[in-house]
Each structure stands twice: as structure tokens, then as C-alpha cells.
Amino acid sequence: MLMLAAGLVIARAQEAIRVQNGAILTVGSGAVLTLNGGITMDNGSQLNHNGTITIKSYGASGTGDWTDNTVTPYTYGSGTTVFNGAATQTVTTNNSFGAVTIAGFALDLHATMTASSWLFKSGVVTTNGFKAVASSTAATASQPDPANPNYTASYINGTFSRYIASSTVDSYDFPVSNGSGQVNQVTLTNLMANPLTGTQWLDVYFGPKPGTDAGLIVTEDGTPYTSVNGAGVWHLTPDAEPTGGRYDLLLYLDGFSGLADNEFAILERPDLSSNAADWMVPLGSSLPAEGTGGRTVSSGYARRNGLSAFSQFGIGVTSTPLPVTLLSFTASRTSKRFVDLDWQTATEDNDKGFGVERRLDDELAFSDIGFVPSLAPGGTSASPLPYSYTDTNSYSGISYYRLKQEDLDDHFVYTVIKAVSGNGNSGVVVSLYPNPGHGQFTLRVDGTEQAYSATITDIPGHTIRRIEATGNNNVSVSGLPPGFYFVRIPDIFGNGRSFVEKVLIIP
């Protein structure tokens, strides 16, 4: 047994200390052990640590690793362990530390590393597919040293897991990165106002954005989102989703570009999703006022208030609705090979033109098929202007069309969706708008006097409401929770040929 009372011990070697099977190393309260080299603990050994252990490298490039081969996990004690190597150090252990200070060049984890608290001074902790865990629920279980403001010089490259107690702690930081040299911190705050229930801990990491923006269709307060910034997304995964309570979320934007004040905000989708159609405004949430922290680029973060669940989060970019008044938009099949699209504008201002997009009923997202430039001189006109586009389309199923109105500043917004049949009852046209929408939407059926039974279903396919589709129908969706639904009109284009479109109901 080796026991250190209050005092200072310095050991120098590549492997400064090896604790053999059956041996116990005790670092008492007030004792200081500084190692110029690593520590190795054999299975069956034990460390009782209530003082301070500082692990340095042996020389400028030597090792200073922590290797614990103990099989049965335990907690070392309440002491502080400082990693202060001049070269990359590694940690391999099943056991839990007290306080840990990161104050060296870099730390690589070869196993999940649990500590009561983490103080970040210098050096990046790379988890290599494992986790760094803060087991204390105190707000100070993760904090930057004063010489490391906003965690710029020391943070977690990988997954950081924290235990939370939102009834007594109002804010938690997660300084995470994806190894790009930037830190994209996550902060949960305003927790005590309405504490979360049912969630004990949270895994957080930052990584590349899965998928593309194809199929993105999200609107908030009447303003559409046109993309999700490609700098990356955050994954917040709890042990269990909250059963109650709310929190405010801050996502730090280091490395993000192309953002403009009041034209970006936090969106969410399921944690494993790569489908742009899954992005949505978090239910029941709200944004800070324009021009305040979380809405401006200079604040350095995006903020959304009143969230009630955890998910994958990204930074949605909005566009200003285009100053184009559309009088009409029709789609009709003129033969088995061609579909004619016709539309007319009443006025245009700063208009570039119209992208034509199509989705076949066996496809998940709309695709670009053409572009029609504005007929207005300089993009501005106070008189009606007619437009047309002929699509070479011999698809035998249902084809869905929409226009993407674009202005000269590259802002854009989508029009009503039109659906036409490939054959059979080719005179029937179905229109659905607005999408996204709230309160109600319009479902218009042209080319037939027959009334059809339509349904609104949720994503799993459960029928939520039944409606009659004939002529022009104002369909109320008031009372339905915000989210995605399907509108279905069976057999409207002929036997077995149905209208099916995904709609988004927003708060």
C-alpha cells in the first residue's frame, strides 16, 4: 500500500507509477501527486483519491497516459485530476473520477470517461465514439476557465453527457464540437420556470447535416424556411423524453456563414432522420423578438424558447415572401405525353421568375423540371402577365406540380400544389393550399361534379377527420396538433388512382 498525506511528490518516467494487483494507492485530502509520465493500474489494484493528481507528459513529446485495467467499476474518490501533458494523453478506465481539469495539449478517450465535474482550461477532449460524462447535476459540472472564454480553447470533440436537475438548476452548458476546430456549444436555460420531468440525463453532440434540403417545407408565422444551414446539426438525446416541463435552447453558431439578422431560427426533426420533409418548428415553442439575442448574427447563437422535447436541431434560414400576386395557376393533361401549366400574375416587384417543380406519386420530394423567367421589365410590373410551361410527362400515375416564385435577391416561396392524372379521368384536377398552413386549408376539385370522401390521416395512417371533397372546400384543421398529416382522396382520378399529399399544420 502506498499512502500520500499532505505534501508534494514528483515522479519522473514514461510510466511514472504502476499499481499492481492487490496494491492500493491512496492520495489523501490535501496531498499533491505530480507525475511526469503515465499511471497504470493492474486489475485488482485500487486508487483512493481525495487530493490532487497532476499527470504530465514525460518530456516534450513523451506519454502521460491514464491506463486502468480494473474490471469491476468503482469511484476513485472526490479528488481532482489534472491532465497537463505537452503531448496528447489517453485515458482508459471503467472507473469514475471526482473533479477533472483539462489543462494540457489534448486528451483522447479510449473508453467512456465519467467525472463529477469538468473544468476546461486548454486542450480538446476527443471521445473517439465514447462519451465524456459529467455525473454531478450542478451547473458548475462543466465550466470554462477564465482564460478559456466561451470554451474556445478547450471543449469536447464528440459526445458530452450531463445529468440534469431542472427543478434546482436553471442552466446547463454542453461545449461540443465535431473536430473542425470550432466549438458549437449548446445551452439549456430557463429550466426552473417549468422544470422538466422524466429526463435524468442528456447526450449532446454536433455533426454534419444528414441529407439535403430537397423536400423542405416549413413555414413559421407565414414566413417559409428555404434551407437548413449546412454547417452542421446538433443531436440532443435523453435517457427518456420529458413527460412535462419546458426549456429554452441556445445553439452557438461558430463556423456558420450566410446568416442574416432575423432570418434564421432553430428547427427540429427526429434524431436519426436525413429527410428534409421532417424538419418542423418545435411544437409550442416561440422565438425571441427580432433584433434581440438569438435572432442576430452578432449575438453568436440562435435561440428558441419553450421547447418540450429533445431531437435533432438545425438552423433554418427564412426568406421574405415574394412581392408577387398570383391570380391563377392551373395544371391539365392535354395528352398522354404532355401536361400544360398556366398561371397569371396581377403584379410583380423585383421578380426573377418561376421554378417549375414536379413530384410523382412514387417519389418523396419535388424536383426541379424547368424555369420560366419573369416577363416584367426589371422584374416589376403593375399589369397582369400570363405564363405557361409544357411538361413532357407520360407518367401513368399521379403527378403533383408547384411553382417556386423567386425574386432577384434569391428569396423564394412556393405556390399551391396541383395534381393531375396520367390517364383515365384526365379532366380532374385537385388543388391544395396553403401548405404549410394553420387554421384551415383549401381543397379544390375541378373537372367533376361527383363528391368524393376524403380523409385527413396522421403519419402512421390513423384517420383523424373525414371530409367531403367537391368543388371548393375550406377544410378546418383547428384543434389538430401542429405537425405533418396526409390528405387522401381515394379513386378521384379513376379506380385505384388516388390523390395523396403531405401537409404541415403549423401553430
- pTM for the whole thing? 0.65
Instruction: Tell me how crowded residue 314 is: count the other CB atoms within 10 A of its CB.
Output: 25
Q: 115 near 86, Cβ under 8 Å? A: no
Separation between Cα atoms, residue 74 and residue 46, nearest integer Å: 9
Three-class SS state of 262: coil
Strands 176-177, 233-238: pairing is unpaired
Integer CA distances (angstroms), 32 to 6, 58, 257, 296, in order? 7, 18, 47, 47
Which pLDDT does position 319 carry in this prediction? 66
Sequence letter at residue 372:
V
Tell me which long-range contacts 491-495 makes (C-beta under 8 A, separation of at least 24).
Answer: 491/452, 492/425, 492/428, 492/430, 492/445, 492/448, 492/452, 493/398, 493/421, 493/424, 493/425, 493/428, 494/421, 494/423, 494/424, 494/425, 495/424
Separation between Cα atoms, residue 129 and residue 105, nearest integer Å: 20
The C-alpha cell that represents 412 in the structure block = 423564394
Give every residue of the chain whose pLDDT is below 50, as ranges. Answer: 8-9, 11-13, 321, 424-425
Model confidence over 44-83: pLDDT tens digits? Answer: 999 999 999 999 988 767 789 999 999 999 999 999 999 9
Three-class SS state of 166: coil
DSSP one-letter string for 384-415: -EEEEEEEE---SSEEEEEEEEEETTS-EEE-
Is it true that 321-417 and 424-507 share their CATH fold?
yes
Which pLDDT does position 382 carry in this prediction? 84
Question: Which H/E stretch holds residue 268?
Answer: strand 264-269
Q: Out of 3.40.50.510, 2.60.40.2550, 1.10.1040.10, 2.40.50.140, select the CATH number for domain 424-507.
A: 2.60.40.2550
The C-alpha cell that represents 154 in the structure block = 478547450
Which pLDDT does position 12 carry in this prediction? 47
| Strands, E assignment, 84-215 | 88-92, 96-109, 113-134, 142-144, 156-163, 172-174, 176-177, 186-189, 201-207
Three-class SS state of 278: helix
Q: Tally the C-alpha atoms within 13 A of residue 477's C-alpha that lie toward its C-beta.
A: 29
DSSP one-letter string for 30-50: TEEEEEEEEEEE-TT-EEEE-
Model confidence over 378-417: pLDDT tens digits? Answer: 999 888 899 999 999 988 888 889 998 888 877 777 777 8
Separation between Cα atoms, residue 43 and residue 40, nearest integer Å: 10
Topology of domain 321-417, CATH: Immunoglobulin-like (2.60.40)
Instruction: Tell me how crowded residue 378 is: count the other CB atoms within 10 A of its CB.
Output: 11
Three-class SS state of 358: strand
Which residues fall within 8 angstroms of residue 41, CB to CB, at 6 or more apart? Answer: 18, 19, 25, 47, 67, 68, 69, 70
CA angle 425/427/430 to nearest 5° reads: 95
Integer CA distances (angstroms), 438 to 72, 456, 458, 507, in order? 56, 14, 16, 6
User: Computed from CA positions of residues 405, 407, 408, 411, in that sequence, does the dihedral angle turn out positive or negative?
Assistant: negative
How far is C-alpha 479 from the geometric centre of its chain's CA atoms? 27
Domain ranges of the chain: 2-247, 321-417, 424-507
Q: Which of 428, 429, 431, 382 is nearest to 403 (CA)?
A: 431
Which pLDDT does position 425 carry in this prediction? 47
Sequence letter at residue 200:
Q
